[in-house]
Structure 1
Amino acid sequence: MLYLHQSHRLEVLLNGLAEVARSPLPDPFAAELMVVQSKGMGRWISLRLAERQGVCANVQFPLPASFLWQLLRLCFGELPERSAFAPEVLVWRIRAWLERAEDVARSPRLAAYLNSGDERRRQQLAERLADVFDQYLVYRPDWIEAWEEGRLLALGADEEWQAALWRHLAAGQGDSHRARLVRRLLHRLEDGSPLALPPRVSVFGVSSLPPVFLDVLQALARRIDVHVYALNPCREYWGEIRDQREIARIAGERSADDLYLEVGHPLLASLGKQGRDFFDRLAEFPQLDSEFAVDEAEPPRRSLLEVLQADILELRDRRDDRPWRLAAEDDSLQVHVCHGPMREVEVLHDRLLHLFQRHPDLQPDDVAVLTPDIGLYAPYVEAVFSRRQGDTFIPYSIADRGMSAEQPLLEAFLALLDLPDSRYPTDWVLGLMEHPAVLRRFGLEADDLDSVRHWLQETGVRWGRDGDHKAGLGLPATTRHTWREA
């Protein structure tokens, strides 16, 4: 059975999850599976469950892709550790195809693009195509299936060569790519074949999932209990709301009222399109037990943020109402304009200190900071939030960083590979020298870097290997301020 638990608050969803988790599994040694969309969410759930129940043990928090791979291994036994269709492998197979002139020549548009650039353009295109094909496997498996059958779907001028490239990549690979494996998995789940499935699966904190993952959950729910805890900002049906531009595009010369389209809440209409489609897709499931839980019958409206949340919850459009009177001390919703990432993090640090002082019951583990690219902000967070003598320290951790950020040696190796294509700026080279592995290789200590910085400042080194390096960049071939003078 598929159970859909909805709420506009994560804490309310957690109450439902804790209630279900209290029901023991048939096998006392079986792990509880809770699928989450980030490692940070898994950590938050484990801490909150431990607070409520005294302990949180034998719980696994796989990401959706990892969970799907676990199911595939349960159904089909051992699978290769790395698929031939993994993006990091696919990029080199695509690069080899792009090197074949007879294949590229079939598409004049593709050939013209590659011939107008150098090898770097060919590599960048291969990397981009590897990511695009990986997305096709998740979001457009029907395209993949049609191309493998030799059919075109009139998708545009680039479809023919992309289909030819995919058929070349898929040739001789059997059922090793994700779309084929998922098709086989769905068939196994639906035909009643005996499978060693987990006794229960929970999917927590999601507001959107790929269609292929929803298909797997629907098929899985015919065998076991599947609980989906979805963040839904609105308790009313909002599947028909559209933003103004979308209404204008759909309606054309007709009236939006004749099509029964409305804006509802403008923020939800413009920013919630992906969530709208997700909940519409869930509503189509034939066997679905759905509920929407709230913590208060009447949502509070004491601040601007609470008014915004309550209006979205009730799908209320205030554009024709009188303006909301903002209290002088209301700072629940803030917008800060900063000149760069470093300043953004500094302002964040100051605002958090102010909030902790203003609300003594607020704890650091109650705060989550979201960024579009944590890799960009991580160095600034460490610089601003690191413990300093005499300063107030805010405990913090950085989640969901890439492997290079978690492995300093790998980060140093990647930086070393990028060095020949750079201008050899002093700050970059010095940053590379700060890595412990580089210091050990040259027998240096961290304190020696102060002497290196002093020498570079005295000699005036700024960038560039030598005069020839500058000449290659179209500049005068002078060694002044280059590493040659150091």
Structure 2
Amino acid sequence: MTLFVHRDTSTAALAEGLADLLATPLPDPFAEEVVAVPAKGVERWLAQRLSHTLGAGPSGHDGVCAGVRFLSPHSLVSMVLGVERDDPWHADRLVWPVLESIDASLDEEWAETLATHLGHGSREPGAELRRGRRYAVARRLAGLFAAYASSRPAMLTDWRGGGDGDGLGGRVEPDLAWQPPLWREVLRRVDAEPPDVRHDRVVGRCARPRVT
């Protein structure tokens, strides 16, 4: 797979360059070109600009933008990873194994900070209210782990191997030392390729020279 980067200070010039690239139809008439856009407004503007070239006659105003699939950057990454429909590491799905891991670990020594935050085993006033935070805490942690997977995959690789690195050459702060073992508990409950492994696999495929 080869990556070509086109840069210009003019969005119109970039749109014209894209139109030139898409002007040659794909061999399969049912195949779609994929174009990533940051917002729906950009998609509408770009589709209109492309219609001035794609399938247009001499006037340049009677074309049609067809056979182009517009995706958000997030959707493009999901497509490349092959998880467009069911990503087990998406925060909305990950919340449940995170919640199970929390419930199973609150009596562990490493989870003392988390257990205290959730009022586990406490009879103090307000402890019941803190115990009611379980889902909210699990959802926040699921979002945090999902963010780690995209921005600090090397850190998750270290955690998966039993380490406690912070991804920057140091160790996680003492008050966050429960996160690495909690992540390992989550990995035990998700029957899927770990996100850092998947990341390395896909990056490796993208970096592999294309054989022609």
Both proteins in one fold, TM over 0.5: yes
Per-residue deviation, residues 126-170 of structure 1 (Å, max 9, x unmatched): 111111111111111101111111112102124431111111111
Aligned position for 2:58? none
Structure 2 Cα separation of the partners of residues 175 and 143 of structure 1: 18
**Residue 173 (1) aligns with residue 177 (2):** no
After superposition, where does 1:419-458 map in structure 2 within 5 Å?
none
Aligned position for 1:112? 116
Check conservation: 1:84, 1:176, Cα contact below 8 A. no
Structure 1 Cα separation of the partners of residues 26 and 74 of structure 2: 24
**Residue 144 (1) aligns with residue 156 (2):** yes
- Paired amino acid for 1:223: R
Structure 1 Cα separation of the partners of residues 45 and 137 of structure 2: 39
After superposition, where does 1:6-405 map in structure 2 within 5 Å?
6-53=7-54, 54-73=63-82, 81-100=85-104, 101-103=106-108, 105-115=109-119, 117-153=129-165, 154-171=171-188, 173-187=190-204, 189=205, 216=206, 219=207, 222-223=209-210
Instruction: Rate the CA distance shift 1:34–1:81 in 2: closer, same or farther, 3 A.
Output: closer
Instruction: Rate the CA distance shift 1:18–1:98 in 2: closer, same or farther, 3 A.
Output: same
Cα distance, 1:181 vs structure 2 = 2.0
Runs of 4+ in 1 over 3 A off after TM superposition: 23-29, 172-178
Check conservation: 1:72, 1:181, Cα contact below 8 A. yes
Q: Which has the larger radius of gyration?
A: 1
Cα distance, 1:14 vs structure 2 = 1.1
Q: How high is the TM-score relative to the length of structure 1?
A: 0.35
Structure 1 Cα separation of the partners of residues 36 and 172 of structure 2: 34
Instruction: Rate the CA distance shift 1:29–1:223 in 2: closer, same or farther, 3 A.
Output: farther
Instruction: Rate the CA distance shift 1:158–1:45 in 2: closer, same or farther, 3 A.
Output: farther
Check conservation: 1:84, 1:177, Cα contact below 8 A. no
Per-residue deviation, residues 93-137 of structure 1 (Å, max 9, x unmatched): 22233334313x424332332225523433221111111111111
Query: CA RMSD of the aligned region, Å?
Result: 2.7
Aligned position for 1:260? none
**Bigger relative CO (Cα 8 Å, ≥ 6 apart):** 2
Structure 2 Cα separation of the partners of residues 134 and 81 of structure 1: 16
**Residue 4 (1) aligns with residue 5 (2):** yes
- Paired amino acid for 1:119: R
Gaps in structure 1 of 5+ consecutive residues:
74-78, 190-215, 225-486
Question: Percent identity of the aligned residues?
Answer: 30
Cα distance, 1:51 vs structure 2 = 3.5
- Paired amino acid for 1:48: R
Per-residue deviation, residues 360-385 of structure 1 (Å, max 9, x unmatched): xxxxxxxxxxxxxxxxxxxxxxxxxx
Check conservation: 2:16, 2:50, Cα contact below 8 A. no
Cα distance, 1:9 vs structure 2 = 3.2
Check conservation: 1:31, 1:58, Cα contact below 8 A. yes
Cα distance, 1:183 vs structure 2 = 2.1
